[in-house]
Each structure stands twice: as structure tokens, then as C-alpha cells.
Amino acid sequence: MLSGEVGTTMHNKIGTRYMPKSPIVSFQHGTMQYGEDVFLTRTVILYTKNLTDGESGEDYIRTLSHKAAFNHESFHHILDTSFDEHAVTIILQSKPGKLFSQELHNQVWTYDRVIPMIADLGVSLLDGMEELITGFSVATDNLWLDDNGRLSIINYWEEGDQQVQGSVGLCRLMIQLFTGTSVIPGPFEVMHTHLERMTIPSATQQQKEALIKLIKLMCQGQASISSFIFGLRSLPSASASASASTAPRREEAILLLDENETEDESPVQRPFTKIGIGAGAVVVVALGVWMIWPSSKAEHKATVIPSATAKPVAATTPSSVPTSKATPSATTADKLVELAIPDLTGLTQEEAEKKALSMGLHYKFIIEAAEQPSGIVIKQSPEAGTKGFTGDNVTFWVSKGTP
């Protein structure tokens, strides 16, 4: 067990089992570099964080036990840990490819490349949510681009800035790729205006308008992260726009992952099976109307059927990290049920927690000073009535009263 082994007075394996090699990047409080596991003769990534005064490496590693057991192909699996009095090093699975921030300005990011990439990354976020792995950054310096053009998350055990988390982070990342800028200024609520003022590489006007509508729904709190991700998957493709119809592309949004797919060490393929033809026809027609309906003052809410996610790849190592089981595909449509986010404001904290759990939602609460009586929920995000799915996250703020 991870927590059992850190009880020793020293847990430093750097320079003995793990030999540092070439650097990858330096952070404000640490470094990331390639390393060699001399016991198993394999390449690893050494993610080193410098400890601040009074910070304990033993305590830091103890907090990893839950997340260290998480194993998914879109996350760099934690293989082992090491620490001394100055720093903590997380030994991570090494994947072919490069740090995404280093490739950001070296390639042309077209509509047909970016949309599937962001949607695929979003499905991985949903998988993480099912295992309570949330809050990590999806900024370019925390993403790895593999040789097949897929992104994976490096550090998922620390919380990132709110502007680069979840759906907000996905939107910023997508606009960053289209615009070629390192920073997307302005509040999230008006983020779609960046796309309105630019030409999206390889996108038709229809594709651009459909994408802006979808981002507006997110910016205005009218769609959950699940709806946003599956909305991306049902956007018209360039090939579909050039041909007679986009319906076959949209039909892909209602395909499901075969849960009986076996695990393999090679890149995981994503077989799909069709769900009911009648329900599928209704969804496809609804999506088609939403995509081509003229803009008006009233926004149209998008409802999409959840797609599937890849199965994780299991890793084996005789390290101090707990033996992990491959995470099953938790976001298949038979487990995702569409719902409206409940109204939690005015409830007590206990009532809000019970209500969220009873509807299959994950929740997080924040306590802050307010005029309302102590223990009463004063606001929430997403707002009540927002379309979502089981497994979504809801955050609510609880009053601690006034001094």
C-alpha cells in the first residue's frame, strides 16, 4: 500500500531505482523529465514537486492513495513515488509523444482535428468524474499529445485553476488552438465572441455557427459538461458538409461502446453498437433541426445521447502504489440518464447532499459568509433546471452566517 510504505524515514528512490535522463519542462515549483526504471528496464516520467517550508513529503504522498489506484489510458498512470526532505517525485507511465504545449505552435489545428480531439478529451474527463477524479488542469502544459493525435492528462492529483478545469478549460483549450494564442482573455461568459470574430481553419460557415451555438449554451449555463461533450461529437464534419448530408456523422453520436471489449496493451479501439432505431431517429432529427435552425434571441437547448469512452489500459509494477483495476467504461449510454439539475438553494446542507446523491449526481460544497442562516444553501452551479446527465458534478455554496 502507498500509505504503508511512506511510514519509513526515507523514501528516496531517485538515483537508485530511477535514474533521471533528459528534461521535459520546468515548472514554477518543480520539473518534469524522462527517467529510467533500472529494475524493470523501462522509460518513465519523473514529475518532481519542490516542497515548501513546513510541507511534508510523507503527507503529500499519503493524499495520493485514491488517485494512484485510478487506471485509464487517457491518464498517465502513477507507477511509484519517491521523496526526501526537499521534494516529492511522482513516477508516471511514459507514453510516446510530446508535451502538448511544446507542439502547440508547431502544427496547424483545423476544425476536423480539434473537434474530435477535444471531444475525446472530454469523455476522459467524464470517466474521471465517475471515480471522483476532478478539478485537474486541462491546460496545454498538463496535457500529453501522443503519436496518434490523442491527448492524455499528466497531473490529475492536484487541483488546477478554475479557468482551466472541466468544460471551461475545454472551451479555452479549443479556442486557443483555433486562434493560435497562448492566453484567451476575457470572462468565460463571452468566450464564444473570440470565434465569432475569426475564421476557423477548414470549417464551413455552417460548422462555425453550430460550434458557436454550442459554446454559447455552455457559457450561459444551459448545458452540462456531458451535453457539451456529446454536442461536440455530433457537430457536422467537413466531409459531411462537402457531401449530400451530415446525418450519417450525427448518427455516430448514438453509438455505444461494446462493454465486452477485451483489454490490450496496444492502443484501444472503440467499437460501437447501435441503440434503438426509433430513439436514434428522433435524436438525429432533433440535432439536425438544432444545428441548422436560424439564430434568435431565445437560445435552443441541445440534447444529445451520450457516446462512449475507451477502456483503460492496465499497468503492472512492483511499486508502492496500490494494485489498480482497469476502470470500466463508466460513461456508456446505458448508465447515463438525462436529467434536469435540481434546485438546491434554500435547502440545508444535508438536504442538498441527499438530493444530489438521490439523482446520481456528484457534489462539492463551499462554505462562505452570508446573511442567510448558517447551513443553508445560498447558490449553486450549474443552475437549477440545467440539462445534464447522471454522474455530472454540482457545486453549491453553504452559508456560515455572519459574524
Domain ranges of the chain: 18-93, 98-234, 338-399
Superfamily of domain 18-93: Phosphorylase Kinase; domain 1 (3.30.200.20)
For residue 250 the three cell numbers come to 450525427
pLDDT band at 285 (very low <50, low <70, confident <90, very high): very low
* CATH number for the segment(s) 338-399: 3.30.10.20
**Four-way CATH pick for 98-234: 1.10.600.10, 1.10.260.40, 3.30.365.10, 1.10.510.10:** 1.10.510.10
Tens-place pLDDT, residues 51-81: 988 888 889 998 887 888 899 999 999 999 9
Tens-place pLDDT, residues 195-213: 888 888 889 999 999 998 8
- The DSSP output letter for 333 is T
Entry pTM = 0.60
Distances (CA, A) of 325 to 92, 260, 263, 311: 17, 16, 11, 11
Q: Which of 44-53, 136-145, 236-245 has the lowest mean pLDDT?
A: 236-245
CB neighbour list of residue 335: distance below 8 Å, 6 or more residues apart: 390, 391
Backbone angles phi, psi at 47, to 5 degrees: -100, 105
> Within 10 A of 350 (CB to CB), how many other CB atoms are there?
9
In whole angstroms, what separates CA 98 from the centre of its chain? 19
- pLDDT exceeds 90 at position 391: no
Mean pLDDT value across residues 153-174: 91
Q: Going along 146-292, which residue ranges are E strands?
A: 151-153, 255-257, 272-274
Rg (CA), the chain: 22
- pLDDT exceeds 80 at position 15: yes
